[in-house]
Structure 1
Amino acid sequence: ATTWSAEDNIVWKTPLPSWSGATPVIHGERIFLTSPSAGDVGGPGNERRPGGDNLLLMCLDRRTGAVRWTETIDSGNTLHRKGNSTSPSPVTDGAHVWAVTGNGVVTCRDLDGREVWGRNIQEDYGNFGLNWGYASSPLLHEGVLYIEVLHGFYTDEPSYVMAIDATTGEVRWRVERPTDAPREAPDAYTTPVLLEHGGAMQLVVTGGDYVTAHDLKTGHEIWRAGGLNPTRSDWFRIVASPLAVDGMVYVPTRVKPLHAFRAGGEGLVTESHLAWTFDGRAGPDVPTPACDGSRLYIVNDQGLATCLDARTGETIWGPERTVRGTVSSSVLLADGKLYITNEDSTTVVLRAGDEFEILAENTLDGSYTLSSPIAAGSAIFIRTGTHLYCIDDAAE
């Protein structure tokens, strides 16, 4: 899909109980998403309300948008600036769906919403201590759920990374992840990614002024690289997630620097494996970049886009103005196009490639939009503050 409006090329739109920065996940004919219940637990004077107190997991029909089921998975909803207690995105393998809440609940549900197992990692390992609430999404890989808890502002407890058996809910391993980051800098709202290197997969985690790679079977830290917070700022929390593509690890920080490291090595590889650094002011804070292996596309919070050579870091084009306003959602790269959505539900579509070209600018309902757009088949799905839209200009 390239062009749409609130009325045009909308296959369906489904009203949602409340807003959330969590991104929906699609498998087959089902869409899963988390949301607060309707209503408002916010106090007076808040510019924005967190939504209702119950935390919901919903399943929608991909073809029609009909709500198949809604289950309450937790209660207790807190507003954290642009987050609430449903900020982590769910994951699915098509047979089950797993969700994590900002309160530490981890739940596995079958396709009818029935709980298979549940646990609370705050109760297991102590309270989260992030300044803006827990928001990291889990990573599912080959029957294991990988979860990071990187915090330090409100706690002296160490940060950690853990693996949970997705079938049984049993903890396979949990390792502390040390950091010497000051004040708020230990906090991260990133999501881990997988890196393939030397015929094996590694778990890559960014935050606390470092990027680390861990053995999937044990959690053992294989390597770490620093230099993410060169000025040793007290307020260097990291939001945008890393990317691991074709043996390279791309690490956004708080606007700058953005580092690219070559995979490999052991121990501290800050200097030995640094490939290049982008130190421009147009670096991202919240939006995670996109990469096709040859080009890295970055968008900053003000909607300025830059295309870099993924191998060398040289600027191919940009920074160029795309969408106006504030961008908090991540860049979507799909079907040779880039989708950049702002907080007012407007999406600018660019042609991916070595030339900067805007193909379309499309606005939906104008409501508060934090969730990242996703693609499935020829359709684009966008979650605004009020609805989930299925958009397809190839629709018959």
Structure 2
Amino acid sequence: MIIRTFRFLYLVTLVAWSSPAFADNWPSWRGPDNLGISTEKNIPSEWSDEKNIAWKAKMPGIGASTPVVWGDKIFLSSEEGDSTVLLCLDAKDGKEIWKQKVGIVPKKPQFQAGENSAATSSPSTDGKHVWVAVGSGELACFDVAGKEIWKFNAQERYGKFKYQFGMHSTPVLYGDKLYWQLIHSIPGYVICIDAKTGEEVWKVVRKSDGIQENEHSYASTMIWHNGDKAYLLAHGNDYCTAHDLKDGSEIWRVTELNAKAKYDRTLRFVASPLATPELIIVPTAKRGPVVAVKPDAKGTFGPGSEFEQFRFETTPDVPSPLLKDGLVYLCSASGQLTCLDAKTGKAYYKNERFHEAKYRSSPVYADGKIYLSGHDGTVTVVKAGEKFEILAKNRLNDRVSASPVISNGRLYIRGFDNLYAIGTLKSTN
């Protein structure tokens, strides 16, 4: 039975204290179907440390992972001293319901100072269980009451990590399976795990001729699905590949993401692909391209192929793409926004500066607005559409690497110091 969250499941998760009649769950780091899109309305566009803050909850340590929300519970990972923990908070008031240790904070490799941590991979939930991976290699399953169901260490099972800046890939939940990529050296692996037991279903070597820093991918797996058709996307080490869900066999591979003629030995991928039923948006890094791939692609292909919708010269280096109403939005790591036509790749606007800061989180959409969260705590709200227009800028006194979350009529921003629930409804407790 498919347990992945679909929008019709939201009807059974009414939240009495929330202002909308129906509220979206946010079950994975990019929300429903990992698209970064919420159907909720009347989400705040303006706030500050004193304005429109329903509550804030002190974090036990730093973390770059994005929280997930199901009904009245929020789940997120964090460092706490020498440990990594999974927290469950009450969405009404931010109070801690339970906390469980998952792993340790590795002393090596060193994580990117001030930007990420051993708690960078985001949890996933189906409303009954929560799955979480941490930088020391643990992948664990808990029930929503906090009971550990299973846990294993991926370094013990699949070999020692060789990431320069630590393991950050988030497993994707689809059906009763977890799909995970560990692309950090030769060999790298794409893995399928039974979500109920933690047992390996299959493992395949993710082949590549990439070298040096490119062996280290910080991107996450994604699922493309349309009706009863689905496959897995793995991203990194110079390629994006599609894999059969049954056995991991390769379906297609897009090349020249790191052009052989001008090969960049430092072009490691951080941004993850975006998979909609109609189109797959494949980012790269630094000065690499963005490639729009048709979902019916087969075999190995590159520039000029019938399986490519377009190639565009500008890519987001860290934030993942967003596609809404036929428009592709690309947020640069330095605070510039590009908007493309999803059919042609035509740029309606390109590299529009919206804020001078580092951008490590991915954009999200709700009610005609795009939320862009900067590492300095500034969230810029941009009007969706072909014309670039800034609607608001909002600053919190915190550092932010996690992506914004929209659920229960609120916007949740996870900072290094606090988790903020942004909305006009305050707790009565």
Q: TM-score, normalised by structure 1?
A: 0.92
Bigger relative contact order, structure 1 or 2 (CA pairs below 8 A, ≥6 apart): 2
Native 8 Å contact 1:36 1:77 kept in 2: no
Output the CA distance in 2 between the equivalents of 1:211 and 1:236: 13
Aligned to 2:366: 334
Deviation at 1:202, TM superposition (A): 0.6
Match of 2:159 among 116, 122, 126: 126
The residue correspondences of 1:8-19 to structure 2 (distance < 5 A) are 8-19=51-62
| Percent of aligned pairs with the same amino acid | 38
Native 8 Å contact 1:304 1:322 kept in 2: yes
Match of 2:91 among 43, 62, 79: 62
- Alignment pair present for 1:34 and 2:65: no
**3-state DSSP of counterpart to 2:213:** coil
Aligned to 2:298: 266
Aligned to 1:41: none
The residue correspondences of 1:1-396 to structure 2 (distance < 5 A) are 1-37=44-80, 52-78=81-107, 79-81=110-112, 82-152=115-185, 157-196=186-225, 199-230=228-259, 231-255=262-286, 256-270=288-302, 271-280=305-314, 283-365=315-397, 367-393=398-424
Unaligned runs of 5+ in 2: 1-43
Native 8 Å contact 1:83 1:133 kept in 2: no
Native 8 Å contact 2:54 2:425 kept in 1: no
* Matched positions, count: 375
Amino acid at match of 2:266: W
**3-state DSSP of counterpart to 1:224:** strand
Deviation at 1:325, TM superposition (A): 1.4
Q: For 1:324-372, what per-residue CA distance to the aligned partner results, in whole angstroms no more than 9, with x for missing partners?
A: 211111111122110011111110101111221111100111x221111
Q: For 1:244-276, what per-residue CA distance to the aligned partner results, in whole angstroms no more than 9, with x for missing partners?
A: 123211111113211111112322132341221
Amino acid at match of 2:45: T
Output the CA distance in 2 between the equivalents of 1:246 and 1:163: 22
Output the CA distance in 2 between the equivalents of 1:199 and 1:113: 33
**3-state DSSP of counterpart to 1:184:** helix
Amino acid at match of 1:171: E
Deviation at 1:196, TM superposition (A): 2.2
Native 8 Å contact 1:371 1:384 kept in 2: yes
Deviation at 1:132, TM superposition (A): 1.2
**3-state DSSP of counterpart to 2:214:** coil
Native 8 Å contact 2:47 2:422 kept in 1: yes
**Given the superposition, is the C-alpha separation of residues 24 and 80 from structure 1 closer, same or farther in structure 2, using an over 3 Å criterion?**
same
